[in-house]
Amino acid sequence: MTPTVYIADIAKYPGKEVTLQGWVYNKTHKGKLQFIMLRDGTGIIQAVLFKDDVGDAVFESCLNLTQESSVRITGSVTEDKRAKGGFELQAKKVDILQIAPEYPISPKEHGIDFLMEHRHLWLRSSLQHAIIKVRHEVIRACRDYFDNLGFTLIDAPIFTPAACEGTTTLFETNYFDSKAYLTQSGQLYMEAAAMAFGKVYCFGPTFRAEKSKTRRHLTEFWMIEPEVAYCDLPCVMDLAEGLIVSIVERVLERKKEELLLLERDLAPLERVQKPFPKITYDQAVELLKKADAAFTFGSDFGAPDETIISQAFDRPVMVTHYPAEVKAFYMKRDPAQPDRALGVDVLASEGYGEIIGGGQREDDLQSLLDRIEAHKLPAEAFNWYIDLRKFGSVPHAGFGLGIERTISWICGLQHIRETIPFPRTISRIYP
Amino acid sequence: MTPTVYIADIAKYPGKEVTLQGWVYNKTHKGKLQFIMLRDGTGIIQAVLFKDDVGDAVFESCLNLTQESSVRITGSVTEDKRAKGGFELQAKKVDILQIAPEYPISPKEHGIDFLMEHRHLWLRSSLQHAIIKVRHEVIRACRDYFDNLGFTLIDAPIFTPAACEGTTTLFETNYFDSKAYLTQSGQLYMEAAAMAFGKVYCFGPTFRAEKSKTRRHLTEFWMIEPEVAYCDLPCVMDLAEGLIVSIVERVLERKKEELLLLERDLAPLERVQKPFPKITYDQAVELLKKADAAFTFGSDFGAPDETIISQAFDRPVMVTHYPAEVKAFYMKRDPAQPDRALGVDVLASEGYGEIIGGGQREDDLQSLLDRIEAHKLPAEAFNWYIDLRKFGSVPHAGFGLGIERTISWICGLQHIRETIPFPRTISRIYP
C-alpha cells in the first residue's frame, strides 16, 4: 500500500511512491505540464503533473485548482538537486478535496489591519509560519533549560484576589458573587513555591490592561518566571544570562532556516555569549546623557531610553541598582545604598529593550510590612505572602522573561504582534 | 571551598564536606545529640549535631529550632544504609537564618478549608510535594509526546470574542470599551492552526464558570489540545491512546517513588497498555442498564454513569458515537447514522471518568452553517472559523485532555483540587 507521508519526511522515500496531503501554495502550467507547489504544514514540495501520467480528466480538473485548494497527490519521489528540499513528486493520481474561492491574502501588499483580521489564514504564509516555529523552539528551550537544572514547574493561578503591581492595569472579571483579577505575574506564587521546592518556574499567559499602543505591548502575553530560594542578585543574574544564551543557541542550532527566511542577520545573535555586560542604573544614565536623551535621573527608563542603552553593547546588557522608588514593593533594597533596589533588567541587543525583569526579593518581615503599607496595598490579600517571611524566610530571587519580546528580538521583527499565534491588543480580540 | 549543594545531589559527595540550605522538617534530640530532618525542596536528609562537634553555643541555639525554621548546615556526608536516601550529614557548622513561629500545619488532622487557606504552606508537605512532582512529569510527557511526533505548539488566546460551547459557563471581563470572554477551549483556534501547520497542539489554562461543586471541577484548569489536518475519528483515537499510554509509562518510570509515597496501587497503571477497549455509546448504555443505573437513553453521561462504565474495564475505555444532540455544534456526524457524532470520550479506569473529549470536526461548509444557526450562535463571531471550510477544507480531528483529571487519576486522589498548585473553585481564589 502506498504510504501517506508528510513532506518533512520525504527524504526517507527516494524513488518510492507516496501520497501527500495538503494545500496548493502556488501553481503554474505549460502545455501538458502543471507544476503544483504543495504545502502540508511541515514543508513545501513541487508536484509535477504530466498529462499522459494523470490522464486527461484529472489534468483538466487540476487546471481549476486555486491557491489553498485542498488536494491529495500520489506519485513517486524523485531527487532533484535544483528543488528546494532536494525532491519533487512525479504525480500519478490527484484527489481534489475542495476548490477554494479567491484567497484573500495575495502576494500584493495588505494593510496590517487586514492581515490581523485574517490571522487565521495569515498563519499559512511562510514568514508567519517561520516566526511561530521559532516561538515553539524558544518555549522548548526555556522549559528544557529549567527542567535540566532541576527546577519544578509550578503553574501559577490566572485568577487572583489582588494586584501584584498596582490595580490600574488589571483586567477584572466577575467571579460568581465576587470579583477576581487576571494575573499580571506569577511571581508571588513562585515565591511560595520556591520555599516548598527550592527552585521553581511557571510558564503561562499574563495580562495587562495597558492602554499603550506600542510595538512592544500585547494585553495577553506569555512569561516564564523562575524563582530560587537561597539565591541573591548575582545568583539570579547568572541564571538569566544562562537562559538567554541557551535560548539563542538553540534557535540558531535548530531554526536557522526560519531565521534566514525572515532575513535575520545572524551575526548579532551569534555574539550572544557569556559574559553579558553588567552596568548599574547610574552608568546607564551616563549613556543617556552622552546621547543627549531627555531623561530625568530617578525615573524608570522608557522604550526610547532602553533602545539607546542597548545599542551601546554588542549583546544583551544587564542593568542593576535602579532607584527603589521605580521598582515594585517586593524588591529587596541594597543594604549598601538603601535607595537602590537589588533588581536587574536585561535589555536585548540591537535596540530591542527589556526582555527580563527581576531581582532579589525582600525577605525581612518588617520591611515587607512597611512597604505594603507605604504602597497602600490591601494587606489582608497579602496575608499568605507575608506568611512566607514568618515561616523560614530565606534570601530568594527570581525574574520574568517575556516570551513575545524575546521572539521579536530573535526574529528581528518590527512589531511584537506577529510573535504570538492570535495576538490580543487594546483594539483587537478577533479572530 | 565547601560547595553548597542540593540534597538531591548528595550521593555525589560521599565523605566530602558540603553546605546544605533548607528548612527544618522535623527534629529530635537526646543528650549531646540533635537530629534535624532537613528539607530543601529537592530532598530530605538527616543532619546529626553532636555537641562536641558544633560547640556549646550553636548546640544550645539549635535547641530552639522549630518546624520550618530556615538553616544552613555544613558537615560531612556519610553513607548510612538505614537512612532514607542512603546518606546523612555529620554537622560541623549551623547557621540559623530564622526561627519560625509555631507552624500552622501539624501532623494532626486539619479540615480541607484550613489546608486550602494555607495552600502556600501546605505545598511543603510531602504528599502535596509528590503530587506536584507527578504533575510536572505529566506535563513534560504530554509536550514531549507531541513534540516528538512533529506537532507545532500554537498557544491559543485566552481572551475570546465568543463562546465555543455555550455562554452560560463563561467568565466575562471588561475589555477596554467592550467585553471579552475567557477561553473554554483552544480547539477552534487549533483548527485554524492545523490548516497552517498540519499537526498542532495548544497547552494552557482554560476556564469554566460552572456552579457545580464536585470533586472533578475546577474553574481554572489546564488542557492540552492537539488538532490534526487530514485525520479522522480512528486516527485521532490512535493519537489519544498513544498519549495516555505514554504519560502513564513516563510517570511510572520517573516518578514511581512519588506514587508509592501517595500509596498509589501501581497494578492498574501498569495495565494501561494498548489496545484500549473501544465501545459505542449504545454499548455503554447497555452497561448502565445491567448495573440498574437510572439513565435516559439519548442523554449525556453524568459522573456516576462514567464511574460505572469505566469500572467495567481494566484500563481506560474509549466511547464513541454519542447522540449528536448532546455534543457540540462543530462535531462531524457519522454519515452512516446521521444522529450520531464522530466523537470520542476517553474514560480513565478505576471509576475516574472522562479525561479526554474529542473527535472529528464538521468540514462541510453548509452543514456547519446550518449547525451554527440551529445552535443560535452569533454567526459573525464565527466568520473566521467558517473561513476554514471555504479555503481548503479537509477532514480533521482533535481532542482535549484535562491535565488535572489525568493527574487525579494517576495519583489516585479523591479530589481534583490537590492536582494544581493553587486551585480555583467556585468558592476559592485565595491564596
B161 CB within 8 Å of a chain A CB = yes
Cα distance between residue A360 and residue A324, in whole Å: 12
Taking the CB of residue B284, how many other CB atoms lie within 10 A of it?
Answer: 25
A384 CB within 8 Å of a chain B CB = yes
Whether residues B71 and B198 fall in one domain = no
Burial class of A178 by CB neighbour count within 10 A (0 to 12, 13 to 18, 19+): exposed
* pLDDT tens per residue across all 431 residues of chain A: 899 999 999 999 999 999 999 999 999 999 999 999 999 999 999 999 999 999 999 999 999 999 999 999 999 999 998 888 899 999 999 999 999 999 999 878 899 999 999 999 999 999 999 999 999 999 999 999 999 999 999 999 999 986 555 667 899 998 998 899 999 999 999 999 999 999 999 999 999 998 878 888 899 999 999 999 999 999 999 999 999 999 999 999 999 999 999 999 999 999 999 999 999 999 999 999 999 999 999 999 999 999 999 999 999 999 999 999 999 999 999 999 999 999 999 999 999 999 999 999 999 999 999 999 998 888 888 999 999 999 999 999 999 999 999 999 999 999 999 999 999 999 999 99
Task: Look at residue B337 and tell me if it is in a domain.
Answer: yes
Candidates A24, A17, A127, A269; CA nearest to B394 is A24
Whether residues A93 and A125 fall in one domain = no
Are A154 and B424 a contacting pair at CB < 8 A? no
Task: Look at residue A426 and tell me if it is in a domain.
Answer: no
Task: Look at residue B188 and tell me if it is in a domain.
Answer: yes
B230: helix, coil or strand?
coil
The shortest CB-CB distance from A158 to any of B121, B135, B220 is to B220
Domain boundaries, position A67: 7-98
Are B180 and A207 a contacting pair at CB < 8 A? no
How many helices (H) and strands (E) are present in chain B, helices listed first?
14, 18
Whether residues B142 and B88 fall in one domain = no
Number of domains chain A is built from: 2
The domain boundary residue, chosen from B98, B129, B151? B98
Task: Look at residue B216 and tell me if it is in a domain.
Answer: yes
The CATH number of the domain holding residue B126 is: 3.30.930.10
The domain boundary residue, chosen from B31, B63, B98? B98
B24 CB within 8 Å of a chain A CB = yes
Whether residues B65 and B133 fall in one domain = no
Whether residues A48 and A149 fall in one domain = no
Whether residues A179 and A249 fall in one domain = yes
**What are the start-end ranges of the H helices in B202-298?**
233-254, 256-261, 267-270, 281-290
- Is ipTM over 0.85? yes
Whether residues A170 and A42 fall in one domain = no
The CATH number of the domain holding residue A54 is: 2.40.50.140
DSSP per-residue string spanning A23-49: EEEEEEEETTEEEEEEE-SS-EEEEEE
Please identify among residues 59-78 of chain A the ones whose CB lies closer than 8 Å to any CB of chain B: 68-70, 72
Whether residues A26 and A149 fall in one domain = no
Average pLDDT estimate for B101-126: 93
Whether the predicted model's global pTM rises above the 0.95 cut: yes
| pLDDT tens per residue, range B303-346 | 999 999 999 999 999 999 999 999 999 999 999 999 999 999 99
The shortest CB-CB distance from B204 to any of A143, A196, A204 is to A204
A169 CB within 8 Å of a chain B CB = no
Q: Which residue has the cell 489519544?
A: B240
The shortest CB-CB distance from A393 to any of B98, B175, B394 is to B98
Taking the CB of residue A235, how many other CB atoms lie within 10 A of it?
Answer: 15
> Please, which residues have CB within 8 angstroms of residue B106's CB and are 6 or more apart in sequence?
none
The domain boundary residue, chosen from A50, A67, A98? A98
A12 CB within 8 Å of a chain B CB = no
Task: Look at residue A431 and tell me if it is in a domain.
Answer: no
Whether residues B386 and B303 fall in one domain = yes
Task: Look at residue B424 and tell me if it is in a domain.
Answer: no
The C-alpha angle B27, B28, B33, rounded to 5 degrees, equals 115
Whether residues B331 and B203 fall in one domain = yes
Residue B292 Cα, gap to closest chain A Cα (Å): 37
- Written as nine digits, the cell of B396 is 480533521
The shortest CB-CB distance from B392 to any of A68, A154, A161 is to A68
Whether residues B362 and B213 fall in one domain = yes
A350 CB within 8 Å of a chain B CB = no
Cα distance between residue B276 and residue B198, in whole Å: 26
A102 CB within 8 Å of a chain B CB = no
A234 CB within 8 Å of a chain B CB = no
Sheet holding B396-402, edge to edge: B152-153, B199-207, B220-229, B396-402, B353-360, B343-348, B317-320, B278-280
CA distances from B350 to A226, B141, B241, B300, B410 (A): 36, 22, 17, 20, 10
Task: Look at residue A166 and tell me if it is in a domain.
Answer: yes
Cα distance between residue A233 and residue A361, in whole Å: 9
Whether residues B331 and B230 fall in one domain = yes
pLDDT value, residue B91: 98
Task: Look at residue A23 and tell me if it is in a domain.
Answer: yes
- Written as nine digits, the cell of A205 is 499567559
Q: What share of chain B is helix, strand, coil (3-state, %, to 5)?
A: 35, 30, 35
Residue A264 Cα, gap to closest chain B Cα (Å): 21
The shortest CB-CB distance from A161 to any of B4, B204, B430 is to B430
Are A421 and B160 a contacting pair at CB < 8 A? no
Taking the CB of residue A302, how many other CB atoms lie within 10 A of it?
Answer: 12
